[in-house]
Amino acid sequence: MSDKKTALSRQAENIIKNLEKRNMEGYYFETSSACVEAILASIPSGSIIGWGGSESLKECGLMEAVHNGSYELLDRSAAKTPEEARQIYARTVLSDYFLMSTNAITLDGELINIDGNGNRVACLIQGPSHVIIIAGMNKVVPDINSGIGRVRNTACPANAIRLKRNLPCAATGVCHDCLSPECFCCQVVVTRRSMHPGRIKVYLVGEELGY
């Protein structure tokens, strides 16, 4: 193991200990493939699965595996009408498993997320029986303020470009703290503790995943 990988592993060990204090479970894998294999082994066949629309989940291969697996995947992006999307979301709230990433995670085990409609953070907070979070170690930050800064100036501009939003951050690559009509920085949520032990499971990966 290289010095860099050893450092990431030790950093992850510390985060996992802090997650435990916050009623969340943490795991660390050097590679995406090993992480995905472990997650699939933990989800029973036939489970109803929702997801929060995440580049990290796509990049690591989890979404492809779920699509090809023996699960019922609830995917709002497949809806043909707004009402159908609403119905899929209603079912997602009561799903067995909800898959997502987190925009940032502190060394102390706090999760930081910024959302538009709020469906992703809503399911993180309450609803699905189990929440599985995959995060590359590139999303680790020292504290909450650093995490919010990371989301605004790293994740949000990239997402604005991907979604072709007419936003200042898409044009400049940095946050302008705007209130533009197309702004998706509407909900800022810090998860400092889970009320339900073990409901939230965080899978850290020693790779760069997502924005």
CATH superfamily of 3-109+118-141+195-205: NagB/RpiA/CoA transferase-like (3.40.50.10420)
Q: CA-to-CA distance for 102 and 113, rounded, in angstroms?
A: 6
Q: Spell out, as residue ranges, where the chain has pLDDT lower than 50.
A: none
- Sign of the alpha-carbon torsion through 203, 206, 210, 211: positive
- pTM value > 0.85: yes
Amino acid in the structure at residue 2: S
pLDDT tens string 178-191: 999 999 999 999 99
Distance CA 148, CA 103 (A): 9
Q: How far apart are CA 102 and CA 99, in angstroms?
A: 10
Q: Where are the domains of the chain?
A: 3-109+118-141+195-205
Q: Which residues is 130 bridged to in the sheet?
A: 97
Which residues share a beta bridge with 109? none
Handedness of CA 110, 187, 97, 34 (dihedral sign): negative
